[in-house]
Structure 1
């Protein structure tokens, strides 16, 4: 299995990162993909990748919550990293209207800029859409020239939204929300095409049931796998096989 979205470089793993990776490996999660957040997360992320070179793979991008008035300067620095290191994707990018709408216009500009990087470099994008699927889809439609590909990470939307996303050629990243009792995914997941699904944790955040409230970690990808198997009425092995193939194809790992 592949955890396609893990902030394993987060300080909450500093005291036991080796044990966390070992638990993941024991459950068959042998690839952990790490999205960047901001300028401060680059060095810790690359250090973790260097520590686990066959397991961890880095992405490069600016998270929408870190877009501010000086976003263009930050984007220039982020962009310069692509010439210095091999990254598997442009991410984590997108629009977040949950915490603060102050920089909505700047978020849109930063998002479009990074989508264009992805097209130029032929890389997938990892898209964050908290309270913003409605605002994000028109931007993807506008920029989709047949080259854009990627994933709407942490998907927890409706069947209609899932269709709109997959019709644009994108995958759905399923994580902890899939296991939440009142998350609504029990109504949505049976209608999703397995060919569009990849697994993720978003650790240390969004911990799946029955561990909600505790730190999330890549090993919990297995809990997401189990829940999808239950809701799709297929074997966990089939979920593993299809989602792993989907992730390998998308991220070329």
Structure 2
């Protein structure tokens, strides 16, 4: 069983003490594909170091996270452009809009989001969207940018059924992780109404650990709990969940 973690911050300081052991646990659990989102320039070196150590398994994205869109965002976007010009990446992400932490930066978050969508189109790459308390704003941008050259993943999808269908309508897969195992997460009430061909798996580790690890540090090995829950909800085998979602990730990332 090959499992793909389409969104994991393996370079996080949370893994500083046991990163290699954590990777071994994930590999032993069947996870052999790890897709690594960017945050901002301060993490680039750590991401490149991760790739140097685990290059057979990890695939890096380039991008500016919406919570890192500050006064210097144009300088940060310049850094993203420099990286893209130097080497290949699997996606532009994670990008989007986050209104949970700071609503005052909405205008420049939109500007950064649009700019990075244009970069994705230029380099023929998928986008990986971060959306927190910003579905309307994200959909507004996607509507103006929609087309055959816009596609990717709606990371950590936590919306409702209507929003799920809308995201899929913009050529987005839904990134499903630990929230689907939460008692009051809401996803378990309708996710089986979405065809598995629209789903990819993720952990967002070290965040959002699934039951029974909720509240603890998340890691890629715990994605098996997401596989188990989706197997239960869809009424298919865990092997089917793993193989279908891995194929979906191949369709998106072309890896």
TM-score by length of 1: 0.98
- Indicate the RMSD between aligned Cα atoms, in angstroms: 0.8
**1:140-168 deviations in whole A, cap 9, x for unaligned?**
11001210110000001101000001111
Contact map agreement 1:178 1:224 (CA 8 A) in 2: yes
**1:94-132 deviations in whole A, cap 9, x for unaligned?**
000011111100000000000000011100000000111
Name 1:188's counterpart in structure 2.
190
1:9 maps to 2:11: yes
Name 1:158's counterpart in structure 2.
160
**Counterpart-to-counterpart distance in 2, 1:163 and 1:198:** 15
Kindly report structure 1 stretches of 4+ aligned residues shifted beyond 2 Å. Answer: none
Bigger Cα displacement from structure 2, 77-86 vs 19-28:
77-86
**Counterpart-to-counterpart distance in 2, 1:33 and 1:168:** 21
In structure 1, runs of 5+ residues without a counterpart are none
Name 1:179's counterpart in structure 2.
181
Among residues 43, 47, 50, which one is paired with 1:45 in the alignment?
Answer: 47
**Counterpart-to-counterpart distance in 2, 1:23 and 1:48:** 16
For residues 103-114 of structure 1, the aligned pairs below 5 Å read 103-114=105-116
User: When the two structures are aligned, how many residues end up with a matched partner?
Assistant: 253
For residues 17-96 of structure 1, the aligned pairs below 5 Å read 17-96=19-98
Shift of 1:63: 0.1
**Counterpart-to-counterpart distance in 1, 2:11 and 2:72:** 25
**Counterpart-to-counterpart distance in 2, 1:158 and 1:151:** 16
In structure 2, runs of 5+ residues without a counterpart are none
Contact map agreement 1:69 1:103 (CA 8 A) in 2: no
SS of the counterpart of 2:31? coil
SS of the counterpart of 1:36? coil
TM-score by length of 2: 0.98
Among residues 97, 116, 119, which one is paired with 2:118 in the alignment?
Answer: 116
Name 2:235's counterpart in structure 1.
233
Shift of 1:240: 0.5
Name 2:200's counterpart in structure 1.
198
Shift of 1:27: 1.0
Among residues 142, 145, 148, which one is paired with 1:143 in the alignment?
Answer: 145
**Counterpart-to-counterpart distance in 2, 1:9 and 1:194:** 29
**Counterpart-to-counterpart distance in 2, 1:216 and 1:37:** 18
